Amino acid sequence: MKPLLPADDVARYADVAVKVGLSLRKGDDLILLCQPAHREFAVAIVEAAYRAGAHAVDVIMNDPFVRAARLRSAPKETLGDLTPWQAARFRAAVTETTATLLIAGESEPGALAGVDPERIAKEQSGSLMKLPQVRRAMRQGRRRWGIVAWPVPAWAERVYPKLASEAAQRKLARDLLWFCRIGPDDPAGVDGLRRHLMALHRRAQEITRRNLRALELRGPGTELTVALHPDTVWAGGGGKNGFGIMQAPNLPTEETFTSPEASSTEGTFRCSRPLMFQGTLLEGLAGEFRGGRLVRLEAKREADRDFLAGFLHSIDGADRLGEVALVDSSSRIGQAGRIYYNTLLDENAAAHIAFGSGFSFTRRKKEGERGRRGVNRARAHLDVMIGTAELEATGIGARGRRVPLIRDGTWQV
């Protein structure tokens, strides 16, 4: 197959990930995680990294079927164990001069069909249990990482089922450029994206200044209330990590988000978009929180409900929230009016909540204070989309003052 995009467009997209997302500098090392079907873009990322002055690029190809074979066959007690070289790579990933980039785009949906969700949870969360110093560094933001997507046949064909496979991939590739503000009508270089990120950052600062103590989300099937810590900071558009280096980890991005108090969530939610999780499409998700914990979960298929519930309840704290994120109708992804069956895109098309780990940087820094301050520290993070055109988000101030955040699909801040 011919290249999906002209070489200049692919190079520009790779520069977005390397220069804007990671702020890769001369002498830095890059760990690139991808699947074999991502090869075209992986080549462009490697070239972009060396153009930026990278010292070395370490490419790790993860084949979904090879992973499935391990999950089915390995003794359960060994799942999550690390070889010495894997442990060394984890430790290197939380140093100032190393960045990690994941190329998203599920190439083999269904590869994990039939695999016990507890085995998946053990593999996903067990490795960090072995490395407490790495977990600590990650909580402190001492990690440079990013995610960017690339079209692969199975994914593109699901998004554009009426197009031939190659045409679907090209259409999805052009969507990604537009979402990242590097489409044909956007400014040259990466200036359009940088301006967009700054606008998100300014909105997050304004909401932070409101000193909200709670957030209400009301929409079809959703009546959620979450408490916000007095030291809550809202984020958006990226920012400085624990090393003081600017990064925008998720590209594209449209969200303004924070971490609620993990034990505070009350009410019901209904997902507005399906969730592609571990290669399985989960539809009709809905549930209820009481005292901060998920006490009821529904799905279109009973097997899907059991699969997700088994995963969440296998990881301590994964049945509590770690994030609430707001997105309005200005989102280019939302304006496309399409389900993308990919969390990186769908979570930036609509408001969402996330089970599991929260973000320590969503609390104001205080000298000598090390407590969790309500931030979930579960060893998993799973976003589910609840946003619709009817969703209303209202902040509650310290004295009960109600602050409209999103009304009629539009930011009021």
3-state secondary structure 368-380: CCCCCCCCCCCCC
What's the angle, vertex CA 294, arms to CA 293 and CA 299, rounded to 5?
A: 175
Question: What would the two tokens of residue 205 be?
Answer: 């600062």
Cβ atoms within 10 Å of 60's Cβ, excluding its own: 12
Question: How many H helices and E strands in the chain?
Answer: 12, 21
Question: What would the two tokens of residue 24 be?
Answer: 């890769």
For 53-69, the pLDDT digits (tens) are 999 999 999 999 999 99
Give how far Cα 115 sits from Cα of 64, 74, 89, 112, 124, Å: 12, 12, 27, 6, 13
Cβ atoms within 10 Å of 291's Cβ, excluding its own: 10
Q: What topology is assigned to 7-179 in CATH?
A: Thermophilic metalloprotease-like (3.40.1830)
**CB of 45 closer than 8 Å to CB of 103:** yes
Does position 124 have pLDDT exceeding 90, yes or no?
no
Q: Which of 62-71, 135-144, 187-196, 266-275 has the lowest mean pLDDT?
A: 135-144
pLDDT number for residue 140:
86
Dihedral, 327, 200, 363, 315 alpha carbons, nearest 10: 40
pLDDT number for residue 333:
98
**CB of 379 closer than 8 Å to CB of 128:** yes
User: Which pairing describes strands 214-219 and 293-298: parallel, antiparallel, or unpaired?
Assistant: unpaired
b/e burial code for range 242-275 (CB count within 10 A of at least 16 → b): beebebbbbbbbbbbbbbbbbebbebebbbbbbb
**CB of 27 closer than 8 Å to CB of 52:** no
Find, among 265, 310, 327, 268, the residue nearest to 291 by Cα. Answer: 265
- Average pLDDT on 334-355 reads 96
What's the angle, vertex CA 137, arms to CA 71 and CA 57, rounded to 5?
A: 65
pLDDT number for residue 279:
86
Q: Which of 49-53, 122-126, 211-215 has the lowest mean pLDDT?
A: 122-126
Q: CA-to-CA distance for 278 and 254, rounded, in angstroms?
A: 24
pLDDT number for residue 312:
95
Residue 281 phi/psi, 5-degree rounding, is -85, 120
User: Which pairing describes strands 214-219 and 392-396: parallel, antiparallel, or unpaired?
Assistant: antiparallel
**CB of 288 closer than 8 Å to CB of 267:** yes
**CB of 145 closer than 8 Å to CB of 166:** no
Residue 64 phi/psi, 5-degree rounding, is -55, -35
pLDDT number for residue 125:
84
Sequence spans of domains, the chain? 7-179, 211-246+254-411
Does position 364 have pLDDT exceeding 70, yes or no?
yes
Q: CA-to-CA distance for 314 and 375, rounded, in angstroms?
A: 19
Q: Which of 133-137, 179-183, 370-374, 406-410 has the lowest mean pLDDT?
A: 370-374
User: Which pairing describes strands 410-411 and 352-356: parallel, antiparallel, or unpaired?
Assistant: unpaired
Beta bridge partners of 394: 216, 404
User: Which element (helix H / strand E) includes 205?
Assistant: helix 191-209
How does the average pLDDT of the chain come out, rounded? 95
Q: CA-to-CA distance for 333 and 255, rounded, in angstroms?
A: 11
Does position 286 have pLDDT exceeding 60, yes or no?
yes
Distance of CA 146 to the CA centre of its chain: 9
pLDDT number for residue 373:
85
pLDDT number for residue 67:
95
Does position 306 have pLDDT exceeding 80, yes or no?
yes
For 235-251, the pLDDT digits (tens) are 999 999 999 999 999 99
- Average pLDDT on 154-177 reads 97
- Average pLDDT on 171-191 reads 95
- Average pLDDT on 386-408 reads 95
Find, among 397, 268, 396, 382, the residue nearest to 321 by Cα. Answer: 382
Find, among 44, 54, 58, the residue nearest to 16 by Cα. Answer: 44
Does position 101 have pLDDT exceeding 80, yes or no?
yes
pLDDT number for residue 346:
97
pTM (2 d.p.): 0.93
- Average pLDDT on 140-169 reads 96
pLDDT number for residue 365:
83
